[in-house]
Amino acid sequence: MNEDISLLIQEAKPLYFSRKQRRKQMAVFSCMCACMIFVAPFFMKGADNMYIYDFDGMEEDIELTQSGSIIEDMGLPADEYGLLRVI
């Protein structure tokens, strides 16, 4: 009977260690993925972080802002900063 148990233990030992190693690998992989998910946005340089100004196409917008308040031009009440005044 002890020999049967001994044979079962010898047979199960490689399976136990392979599962243990697999769990450890999965834990390391999960931690690496979590770190990349949380750290990646700090190092990404996409289109959201870049500002490209086209001053040639903005001439009309600049003229409108220099001429005064658009809200005031529409006939709405405006304060001294050109913002809509709530009455």
pLDDT greater than 90 at residue 23: yes
Interatomic CA distance for residues 57 and 59, integer angstroms = 6
- At 44, list the tokens: 């990404």
Reported as a single tens digit per residue, the pLDDT across 27-69 is 999 999 999 998 887 777 665 556 677 677 777 766 766 667 7
pTM of the model: 0.42
The structure tokens listed for 35 are 């770190």
Domain boundaries, the chain: 1-44, 53-87
